[in-house]
Chain A
Amino acid sequence: MSAQTSNFMGRQGFFVVPLLLALAGCAGNGEGLDENGQPIPITPPANTDFAEIQATIFTPICTNCHIGANAPQGLRLDEANSYALLVNVASGEVPALMRVNPGNPDASYLVQKLQGNNAVGARMPFGGPYLAQDRIDLVRRWISAGAPAAATPPNQLKVASTIPGSTEVAPLGTSKLTVIFAGDVDASLATRETFGLRNGFDELVPLAGVSVPAGRPNVVELTLAQPLPQGTYQLEVRAEGPVALADNAGHVLDGDADGKAGGDFLMSFDVAAGETK
């Protein structure tokens, strides 16, 4: 052993050993946790493709990085945010592509990033190991089926996400709003009576149209008569009153998310110059 080596292992070790002990630790034994490192839930997760994607891909793998306020590209893939930030949301790296384009997996940036083709930057999950083909096929199958949200309990219709999202800032000139439901909507009820938009003076903003796009029965699009000027707005989806939004089986919207049918869905957002969503 050289003099430098023995010097390092001897006298300097006095400093090194405590530092190693201070910084090092052991892996957890996982007692009482599920495979995602969370306490075992009392009720099992819903058995749908999206729930499976969340439980086996997003939560255990992707949220190592894609979580919290500093998530890469602003894409948070924890259970509370993943759906709203993926479906019909433009990719940050290639804005011409939706992260998830319902019904079209090949044109979904998520699939391109997982497959490692045509994408910008590194294949995901970053640094590997990359997803097994059956996991990628699961994502493709979910998108091909229209990217439906995770299952909700029977007899309930809920709002899954909106574009723009709650408390988000939309760019000046926004002329279309999108509401995505966790279930198919009765298209005959998607009208100006069940959907409304109010400005900061509590005045109704004229809507040019309310429609359910072809092939996407869980989505309602609101086309505005005029692009929105700067201000604060409130989107309303009505589940109370003479006409209430419901699904094809007649289940009325649970707008206030109290677990019971009824209660209007209310969501505020801002429109401002220089901001994008």
Chain B
Amino acid sequence: MIGVNQWLRVVILAVVLGCASQANAEPYLAAQMGLKCVQCHVNPTGGGMRTVFGNAFAQTQLAAKKIGGDDDLWTGQVMKFLSVGGNARANYTYVDVPDQDATNEFEMEEARAYLDFGVIPNRLSVYIDQRFAPGNSTNMEANVRYWIKENAFYVKAGRMYLPFGYRLEDDNAFVRQVSGINMQTPDEGVEFGMEQGNWSTQLALSNGSGGGPENDKGKQVAARVEFVQSAWRVGASALFNDTDAGNRSGAGLFGAYRAGVFTLLGEVDYIDDDSIGVNGRKLMASLVEADWKIRQGHNLQLAFEWLEPNDDVDEDEQTRASVLYEWSPIQFVQLRTGVRLYDGIPQNDNQNRTQAFVQLHGFF
């Protein structure tokens, strides 16, 4: 068995070598550490199951305190060819919509389990992401991933999340709504990727049906390229969806900058969707997020988002400002609390709501 110090050496070595030995989709963590998504996630574009590295990071770097002995590090590997993981988020949410009674409730946001069968170690894997709650069980991802050239290139086929911008945990973020690519809309197709040096690139060809059954002959192409340095990163995304209802194209830029304990992330996306209405619609969204790592296990996040739902209509823009505090007291546990202030046109109460939440997040 190996101890924490040895694990730290593995972590440092992995960073130095940039190797793809592969915590939940929170891009600020990658930006804080100067790492690619693939460092901590089995999915090269982030989110879902954590790698050995990701699990080690969660225990030694993310948590304020590690409970248990040095030999008790969880790697995710339960047997030689099988790794497991999971996420569970339980929320208490308070919502105040103008001119309506405020509501509050407990809810299970999600419970997911991940399985990764590494049938040919570091080469061929079969990956499954199954959501068990809320509601009935449903598959979110199921794909085969094959790495070549010492983990420099890969091809992935099956049901997957598509590459576009930052893979945020919050699927309600405006940039994820506008792009239509988030962790609620996996699609079926094939993805080619390159993880070489400072570059992380992906190209995906999929049905383009938002996770529903294919309903036309056209397909969607989504691409993402990111250049990662230790203190900053910059990337671009593009998509084109050929549908009978009309074509949908989009592009986005994203980047991050780290200065000491502060990390700043930004993304801006533009979508031209001919399938909406008679004349189509042009949409735009942006995100600016600042994270302050107060000390290990404590993170304060401020975010501001802007949404232009229809470029042809004036004075319909919406904004969302968020303040979140994340406390990771021990390994694999996070207590998250935050307030989100929505601001939109005064005629629409829903666009001017205030939401507050407390979330217990368990993961492994």
Contact = CB atoms under 8 A, between A and B. Distances in A.
A31 interface: yes
Interface in A1-38: 4-5, 7-8, 12, 15-16, 19-20, 23-38
- Max count, chain A CB within 10 A of own CB: residue among B109, B215, B247, B313: B215
Nearest to B217: A169
A37 B313 contact: yes
Given A28-B317, A72-B212, A78 B276 contact: yes
Contacts of A129: 95, 97, 103, 350, 353, 355
B68 interface: no
B259 A4 contact: yes
A72 B259 contact: no
A60 B348 contact: yes
B266 A36 contact: no
Contacts of A61: 350
B211 interface: yes
B213 A72 contact: no
A64 interface: yes
B217 A8 contact: no
Nearest to B308: A25
A29 B346 contact: yes
Contacts of B275: 68-69, 76
B241 A118 contact: no
Contact of A32 (B109, B241, B315): B315
B261 A4 contact: yes
B215 A27 contact: no
Given A35-B348, A119-B136, A120-B135, A68 B259 contact: no
A275 B210 contact: no
Interface in B40-58: none
B32 to A, nearest CB: 13
Contact of B344 (A19, A27, A67, A92): A27
B347 A35 contact: yes
Contacts of A80: 277-278
B184 A121 contact: yes
A276 interface: yes
B215 A169 contact: yes
Nearest to A36: B348
A193 B257 CA distance: 70
A70 B220 CA distance: 9
B92 interface: no
Contacts of B214: 275-276
B266 A19 contact: yes
Interface in B94-111: 95, 97, 100, 103, 107, 109-110
Nearest to A37: B316
B216 A169 contact: yes
A217 B95 CA distance: 42
Given A28-B315, A121-B138, A76 B245 contact: yes
Main secondary structure of the interface of A (DSSP, over half): loop
Nearest to B242: A69
A73 to B, nearest CB: 4
Nearest to B103: A129
Contacts of B315: 28-33
B319 A23 contact: no
B355 to A, nearest CB: 7
B212 A75 contact: yes
B227 interface: no
Interface stretch (B21-29, B118-126, B280-288): B280-288
B151 interface: no
Interface in B209-243: 209-217, 220, 241, 243
A264 B227 CA distance: 58
B209 to A, nearest CB: 5
A127 interface: yes
A60 B177 CA distance: 14
B141 interface: no
Contacts of A121: 131, 134-135, 138, 184
A128 interface: yes
Contact of B306 (A24, A38, A39, A119): A24
A119 B245 CA distance: 28
A168 interface: yes
Contacts of B136: 94, 118-120
A38 B286 contact: no
Interface in B260-285: 260-262, 264, 266, 268, 271, 273, 275-278, 281
B75 interface: no
B329 interface: no
B344 A34 contact: no
A26 B317 contact: yes
B343 interface: yes
Given A30-B316, A38-B313, A126 B171 contact: yes
Given A71-B180, A122-B135, A128-B95, A26 B264 contact: no
Interface in A191-239: none
Interface of A: 4-5, 7-8, 12, 15-16, 19-20, 23-39, 60-61, 64-65, 67-76, 78, 80-81, 92-94, 116, 118-123, 126-130, 132, 167-169, 275-277
Given A72-B212, A121-B134, 17 more contacts: A19-B266, A23-B304, A24-B286, A27-B317, A28-B345, A30-B344, A68-B275, A70-B241, A71-B180, A74-B211, A75-B212, A92-B213, A116-B135, A119-B136, A123-B134, A129-B97, A168-B244
